[in-house]
């Protein structure tokens, strides 16, 4: 195989495509949105013959004890409850997998047009396979996901990335999925609702609101860019890019920053003074539980129940709970050119469902009801100053969260390049792309909000 990093950059910079044109892809998405039948209605928990409230355990579960359940969680400090909420418990690890292949000397990715019940629109561009363990072991009684055999029987030498990554820790408890990209050299039958795309074509679609789903974004953020290129090979790649500061950030790896980053993270893990406990949902004193929903007027989400019909899925009709956001959150990443290399400002972020208490998050991660609150520090001040003056805003797009568990949740993703000097507290870290990409190769280091923002970058 040709040098991976050269293949990746060639695909990354190719926004026109070769197998399928952008016009063909846009028309394909539009046609599916107009022809596939979707019917999602709010209902009550008692309307479902499959989901129910288990009085003994105090959880919302289903008759097969499969997929997931919802229970209460509380944060405790000094023997007092300081925070509580419902949380999704889904211990099984699912596949988020993409097949890639070199076609006519271009790296292409096999992408799926998929509908999830909580999607704010219908079709979103998804990985080749997007399936929980319950899905692909057919506990739901449906068909096996297409292309599953390529991932089950993969030759280890054909694996580009295979990593367990965290999901939204403000909604899930310890939820992780297997992010995997494999190289397939044989001819593949392209099934309905699938198309080959270059990386540049996928990133082009990311400019539009709610077209590329969260699962695609997290998998693509994992693509390895660390390399052993010669100086002349690096210079050649950099000369072919539009953002040469970003290209230098991708190709120059500073391993010395690893110990500093882990030192900060491990201090948080070691000296955390709060603990967690699970409680029955009806013991959440600040939440109102009814047959219609679980809600709290001060919270950023509520739990609703839906009756769902979607044409063309492995199972076409079912009921389930969904978490519905009560507003649009904001995820922001500050970049800055330092010594001719683009650096990114990340922040240590603790969340109640985090697998190991803390991960690296974006510069700004605010729920809807936190955005209009008083600015807390100079980092937030400079971010919002640039944003409100529309200065150096590189990316500003609404993107959906995971539609299998969340209902119509979209969040504002913003990347801003600043020019000012900025004084930082100890929770912030400047990091180049290459180091950040290396950190993503470890379990539970970079949170999903940060990974999703990184996936939006274009060279």
Question: If we measure between CA atoms, which residue out of 246, 262, 175 comes closest to residue 215?
Answer: 175
Is residue 428 over pLDDT 80? yes
Measured CA to CA, the distance from residue 171 to residue 367 in angstroms comes to: 12
Domain of residue 345 covers: 248-274+327-455
CATH value at residue 411: 3.90.79.40
In this prediction, residue 134 has a pLDDT band, given cuts at 50, 70 and 90, of low
Is residue 40 over pLDDT 60? yes
Sign of CA dihedral 326, 407, 214, 22: negative
Is residue 227 over pLDDT 80? no
Instruction: Write down the pLDDT at residue 314.
Output: 73
At residue 445, the 3 state secondary structure works out as coil
φ, ψ at 259 (rounded to 5°): -65, -35
CB 407 within 8 A of CB 120: no
> Is 438 part of a structural domain of the chain?
yes
> Is 408 part of a structural domain of the chain?
yes
Is residue 152 over pLDDT 80? yes
| Digit-coded pLDDT (tens) for 375-394 | 779 999 999 999 999 999 99
| Digit-coded pLDDT (tens) for 318-375 | 999 999 999 999 999 999 999 999 999 999 999 999 999 999 999 999 999 898 876 7
> Is 16 part of a structural domain of the chain?
no
> Is 25 part of a structural domain of the chain?
no
> Is 370 part of a structural domain of the chain?
yes
> Is 87 part of a structural domain of the chain?
no
| Digit-coded pLDDT (tens) for 170-213 | 999 999 999 999 999 999 999 999 999 999 999 999 999 999 99
At residue 34, the 3 state secondary structure works out as helix
**Number of domain units in the chain:** 1
> Is 310 part of a structural domain of the chain?
no
* Percentage above 90 pLDDT, the chain: 80
In this prediction, residue 167 has a pLDDT band, given cuts at 50, 70 and 90, of very high
| Digit-coded pLDDT (tens) for 356-365 | 999 999 999 9
Residues ≥6 apart with Cβ < 8 Å to 70: 59, 60, 61, 86, 87, 88, 89, 281, 294, 303, 321
Question: If we measure between CA atoms, which residue out of 1, 12, 455 comes closest to residue 184?
Answer: 1
Measured CA to CA, the distance from residue 365 to residue 350 in angstroms comes to: 11
Q: Looking at the chain, how many residues does it have?
A: 459
Instruction: Write down the pLDDT at residue 141.
Output: 59
In this prediction, residue 1 has a pLDDT band, given cuts at 50, 70 and 90, of very low
Terminal Cα-to-Cα distance of the chain (whole angstroms) = 23
> Is 311 part of a structural domain of the chain?
no
């Amino acid at each position: 195989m040709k040098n991976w990093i050269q293949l990746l950059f060639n695909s990354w910079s190719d926004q026109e495509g070769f197998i399928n044109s952008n016009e063909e892809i846009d028309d394909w998405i539009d046609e599916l949105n107009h022809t596939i039948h979707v019917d999602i209605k709010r209902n009550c928990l008692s309307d479902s013959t499959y989901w129910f409230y288990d009085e003994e355990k105090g959880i919302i579960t289903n008759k097969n004890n499969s997929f997931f359940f919802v229970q209460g969680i509380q944060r405790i400090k000094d023997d007092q409850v300081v925070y509580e909420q419902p949380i999704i418990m889904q211990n099984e690890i699912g596949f988020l997998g993409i097949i890639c292949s070199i076609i006519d000397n271009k790296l292409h990715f096999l992408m799926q047009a998929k509908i999830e019940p909580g999607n704010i629109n219908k079709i979103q561009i998804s990985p080749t396979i997007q399936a929980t363990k319950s899905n692909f072991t057919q506990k739901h009684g449906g068909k096996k996901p297409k292309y599953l055999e390529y991932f089950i029987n993969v030759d280890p030498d054909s694996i580009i990335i295979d990593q367990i990554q965290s999901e939204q820790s403000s909604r899930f408890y310890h939820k992780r999925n297997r992010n995997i990209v494999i190289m397939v050299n044989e001819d593949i039958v392209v099934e309905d609702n699938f198309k080959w795309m270059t990386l540049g074509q996928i990133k082009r679609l990311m400019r539009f609101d709610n077209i590329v789903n969260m699962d695609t974004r997290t998998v693509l953020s994992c693509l390895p860019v660390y390399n052993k290129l010669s100086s002349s090979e690096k210079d050649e790649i950099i000369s072919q890019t539009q953002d040469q500061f970003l290209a230098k950030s991708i190709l120059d790896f500073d391993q010395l920053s690893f110990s500093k980053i882990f030192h900060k993270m491990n201090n948080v893990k070691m000296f955390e003074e709060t603990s967690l406990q699970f409680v029955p949902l009806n013991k959440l004193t600040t939440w109102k539980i009814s047959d219609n929903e679980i809600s709290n007027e001060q919270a950023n989400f509520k739990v609703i129940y839906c009756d769902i019909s979607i044409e063309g899925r492995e199972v076409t009709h079912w009921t389930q709970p969904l978490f519905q956001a009560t507003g649009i959150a904001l995820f922001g990443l500050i970049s800055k050119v330092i010594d001719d290399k683009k650096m990114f400002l990340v922040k240590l972020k603790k969340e109640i469902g985090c697998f190991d208490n803390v991960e690296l998050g974006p510069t700004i991660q605010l729920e809807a009801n936190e955005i209009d609150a008083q600015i807390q520090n100079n980092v937030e001040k400079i971010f919002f100053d640039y944003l409100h003056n529309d200065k150096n805003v590189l990316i500003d797009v609404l993107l959906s969260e995971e539609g299998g568990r969340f209902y119509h949740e979209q969040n504002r993703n913003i990347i801003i390049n600043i020019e000012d000097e900025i004084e930082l507290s100890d929770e912030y870290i400047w990091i180049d792309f290459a180091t950040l990409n290396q950190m993503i190769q470890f379990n539970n280091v970079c949170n999903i909000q940060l990974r999703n923002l990184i996936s939006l970058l274009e060279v």
